[in-house]
Chains A and B, each alone.
Chain A
Amino acid sequence: MGKKTAEGQVIVVTSGKGGVGKTTTVANVASSLARLGHKVVVMDLDIGLKKLDLILGLENRVIYDIIQVIEGECTLKQALVKDKRFPDLYMLPAAQTRNKDDITPDQVKQLCAQLKKEFDYIFIDCPAGIEQGFRNAIAAADRAIVVTNPEVSAVRDADRIIGMLESANFKDIKLVVNRIRNDMVKSGDMLSIDDLLEHLCIDLLGVVPEDQNVVVSTNRGEPIILNEHAQASTAFNNIAHRTLGEQVDFPTFDDITLWTRIKSLGRNMFSGR
């Protein structure tokens, strides 16, 4: 299938804190969009600590990496790894033996400008942290997805990242809450979606439950969206549809309706009066 939109969109997936599910989100939302017939490329900017190839199960097909493209050792096209399971999913691998300072924001911008001509969506897998790797990852992005977990340290980092994205003039910043456990939320031992939205004050793009199937899929190198019985699979598919701008209801999350009600009462929930 060919490219659908005139100009491709660059979407960075970031979090501040490590290990919250950025790479899992990139792999699955990108696969889901590719399955829906969009031309998608995932760019791994976690230089030196690459994982996207493993999570997608493409590690044995990597020949060149992004640094070799930048340094002119190969063409961009040569470095792109095609995913055989989806008609239009490609990966631009990170380099494992280099580090984040070996590329610059301008070089990422140039690569993205080229990729935009060929692809509908360019997903950037951002490394953890707020240093050079983060600056490279956001340099060319039109939109940002902030992934967090319902946990104080992840929320604090997400808030910092949102502040930095706002300073960088991002207008489209959306939240994905990963690894939520409804049973713990109900028993009062986990922050709810409501709570997270109140703290972070950005729009919700998706809610992914804690799901053992994610570990199983990761072991196998298969995107979880290929396991249609997994709860996380539905969640990632919904995120893909919302990324396209479609309205998809959030299933079975009582707190969201509550949040919508609170929001309509005005946002000054703790104005101190």
Chain B
Amino acid sequence: MLDFLKRVFNAEDKSSKGQANNRLRLVLTHDRLGTSGLVMDAMKEEIIQVIAKHMEIEGVPEVKIITEGRHAAMDISIPLKGR
């Protein structure tokens, strides 16, 4: 989760303003949801494990928070293996 957010919120901007923006995007998302980067990472693992118990996962699963304005949603995308 943490890594994902960092990637999306382009870590390329090296100015102090760019860093402030990247840090704020992360911290505000977590503040609003009452969570933290560590909790998000743990949850992502658990979600994938639950799916993997019943179905076969093929490819790279993604669990991420998407935000629009002050609203957020969890976006889970887990590619499954068919027969």
Interface residue ranges, A against B (CB under 8 Å): 151-152, 155-156, 159-160, 162-163, 166, 185, 188-192, 195, 198-199, 201, 267-268, 270-272
Contact A195 B75 (CB under 8 A): no
A192 CB contacts on chain B under 8 angstroms: 17
Do A201 and B70 form a contact, CB below 8 Å, given A156-B24, A159-B28?
Answer: yes
Chain B binding site: helix, strand, loop or mixed by DSSP? helix
Q: Can you give 12 A-B contacts (C-beta < 8 A)?
A: A152-B24, A156-B28, A162-B70, A163-B32, A191-B17, A192-B17, A195-B24, A198-B21, A201-B70, A268-B66, A272-B4, A272-B64
Contact of B75 among A152, A156, A185, A272 (CB under 8 A): A272
Question: Is there contact, CB below 8 Å, between B21 and A195?
Answer: yes
Kindly report which residue of chain B lies nearest to residue A266, judged by CB atoms: B68
CA distance A267 to B67 in the complex (A): 9
B59 on interface, CB distance cutoff 8 Å: no
A155 to B24, CA, bound (A): 8
Q: Tell me whether B67 and A271 are in contact (CB under 8 A).
A: yes
A199 close to B68 (CB less than 8 A): no
Question: Is A156 a contact partner of B68 (Cβ separation < 8 A)?
Answer: no
Interface positions of B from 15 to 31, Cβ below 8 Å from A: 15-18, 20-21, 23-25, 27-28, 31
B45 to chain A, nearest CB (A): 19
CA distance A32 to B9 in the complex (A): 41
Whether A271 touches B68, Cβ cut-off 8 Å, given contacts A188-B18, A189-B17, is yes
**Does B25 lie within 8 Å of A267, measured CB to CB?**
no
Given contacts A152-B24, A268-B68, 15 further A-B contacts (CB under 8 A): A151-B20, A155-B28, A156-B27, A188-B16, A190-B17, A191-B24, A192-B17, A195-B17, A195-B21, A199-B24, A199-B25, A267-B69, A270-B25, A271-B68, A272-B75
B68 lies within 8 A of A267 (CB) = yes
Interface size bracket, B side: 20 to 34
Which partner residue on chain A sits nearest B67 by CB separation?
A: A270
Closest beta carbon of chain A to B36's beta carbon, Å:
14
Find residues 50-83 in chain B having any chain A CB closer than 8 Å to their own CB: 64, 66-70, 75
CB within 8 Å for A270 and B32 given contacts A152-B23, A189-B15: no
Q: Tell whether B38 is near chain A: CB-to-CB under 8 Å.
A: no
C-alpha spacing A189/B68, complex, angstroms:
26
Q: Do A270 and B31 touch (CB < 8 A)?
A: no
- In the bound complex, what is the Cα–Cα distance between A8 and B18 (angstroms)? 43
Q: Which of B9, B16, B17, B18 contacts A270 (CB 8 A)?
A: B9
B32 touches A159 (CB 8 A): yes
Chain B residue numbers with a CB within 8 Å of A201 are: 69-70
Chain B contacts for A156, CB-based, 8 A: 24, 27-28, 31
Shortest B32–chain A CB gap in Å is: 6
B42 proximity list for chain A (CB < 8 A): none
B25 lies within 8 A of A272 (CB) = no
Determine whether the beta carbon of B31 is less than 8 Å from that of A189: no
- In the bound complex, what is the Cα–Cα distance between A190 and B23 (angstroms)? 14
Q: Scoring B residues 31 to 43 as 1 if CB is less than 8 Å from chain A, else 0, what string do you get?
A: 1100000000000
